[in-house]
Amino acid sequence: MSRESGDHGLRRRRTPAAQPPPGEGVSPPGPTPASEEPPAEDLWHPRRTPASQQPPAEDLWHPVRAPATQPPAAEDLWHAVPATQPPAAEDLRHAVPATQPPAAEDLWHPRRTPAVPPAPRPRRPRRRRFLAAAAAAAVVLVVVATLVVVESRGAESPLARLPVSGIGGVSAVAFSPNGQTLAAGDDDGSVFLWDVRARRFLAALTDPSVEGSISAVAFSPDNQIVAAGDNLGYIYLWSLPAGRRIASLAAAGTSTGGVLSLAFGPGGSTLASASNLGGYLWSVPTHHLIRTLTPPGGAIVGAMALSMDGRMVAVACSNNSIYLMNAATGQVTATLSSHDTNPDASLTSVAFSPDGQALAAGGSDNTAFLWDVTTGRLIATVSEPGVSSAGVLSVAFSPDGQTLATGDGNGNTYLWDAAGSLSGSRATLTDPDGKWVNSVAFSPDGKTLATGDSNNAAFLWAAG
């Protein structure tokens, strides 16, 4: 068998011991008499020779301690073999001329020489590393760009479609004050309630009148009542969550044009409604009519809004004027004019800002208006792109008052910068069915916008 050399990395083959002549016994194990020992350089080994019999250090060549110009002689690297039988060349790991010392890796042994770390792997050229880094960066940029595009497209697509049964469109939408429920009133006379977060249908509240269609919906501030008005001039109140009808309200002449709008006052004790003939204030607890608000000159009413504090009513009329009226007395306190010279135009929708300082309205000629309520000054006028015979059908402010949403007869909902005098549209939300946007409403947190179209569907959109 063969083994590695201790200090020199040379492979040696031990020569079998010479057999004694016949008749002679084998010497018992033990130390060899000094007179029979071979020279020290032939037998010395660091583990088998006592320190007192070791050869001089200069006779033991080592790659670290000996200069490369002084390699050991072959007989100095060979041991445990009689001097008369030097190792054959094939027993040496390398046939290296005596004038060339062996390389360090040829002399290493795990028990006698400190470990030598493996040679380092060749490094990639810098150019190759640069190209690899550039390729990786390009991939990251492509992924990021793709995500940006997807996010941009997602912002223009609805979060959810909430269909209603029947053949009529959704004429009105409203969020509950806690933001958990959406009410959608359709032309077939039903109010559909949806769980906003789960996108789950909850219930359908049906107009008792067979021929009625829902034209306005509103929630009480405590989320306990939902009110709906129909095209016949009736207002119905249902308790929630049971969905039990608790009252029906009607006033003389309200059948003309039906119920155009509904809004609860603060505290929920008052309900404001509008018909083509004027506005009405109702007592919710008693179900009685409190007051009638009639615009000057018998102007035909197109829309009405109640301020957040319940003190002021805005009545938008067909003569392109808005009358601000004291809710407690019914007196007109100011008149806001759109200065629209189109004789065929009329105001179709109106809304107060949350702080009551601004008022927005939509016109039948695709125009939106913004006024300063305190001064009565017309702040901005903006015309929506495209031409629609229906014009701007609905307007609504975001809860923070910074955004104005307008829905039109072209199937588009525009989000305008209300703080910047309607200086530009922040986003355009296009109805997937391409139908009229009859109603728009912001969620209480301002993050979601609901729209109702003329094709039996309400949609939820990301608004902030």
Amino acid found at 136: A
What is the predicted pLDDT for the residue at 262?
Answer: 96
Global confidence as pTM: 0.66
Cα separation, 391 vs 406, whole angstroms: 10
The percent of residues in the chain predicted with pLDDT above 70, rounded, is 62
Q: pLDDT (tens digit, 9 = 90+) per residue, 236-289?
A: 999 999 999 999 998 665 556 689 999 999 999 999 999 988 999 999 999 999
Residue labelled with tokens 């506005």: 279
Would you write out the chain's pLDDT as a tens digit for each of its 464 residues? 444 444 444 344 444 444 444 444 444 444 444 444 455 455 555 455 555 555 555 555 454 444 444 555 545 544 444 444 544 545 444 444 444 544 544 444 434 444 444 444 444 444 433 333 333 333 233 222 222 222 333 447 999 999 887 677 999 999 999 999 999 999 889 999 999 999 999 999 987 765 788 999 999 999 999 999 998 899 999 999 999 999 999 866 555 668 999 999 999 999 999 998 899 999 999 999 999 999 998 889 999 999 999 999 999 998 889 999 999 999 999 999 887 667 778 899 999 999 999 999 999 888 999 999 999 999 999 887 766 667 899 999 999 999 999 999 989 999 999 986 777 778 899 999 889 999 999 999 999 999 999 998 999 999 97
- Do strands 312-317 and 170-175 pair parallel, antiparallel, or not at all (unpaired)? unpaired
Q: pLDDT (tens digit, 9 = 90+) per residue, 315-354?
A: 999 888 999 999 999 999 999 988 766 777 889 999 999 9
- Do strands 235-239 and 170-175 pair parallel, antiparallel, or not at all (unpaired)? unpaired
43: left (phi over 0), alpha (psi -120 to 50) or beta: alpha
Q: pLDDT (tens digit, 9 = 90+) per residue, 135-171?
A: 333 323 322 222 222 233 344 799 999 988 767 799 9
In DSSP terms, 53 is beta-bridged to none
Domains of the chain: 1-14+40-116 (no CATH), 156-462 (2.130.10.10)
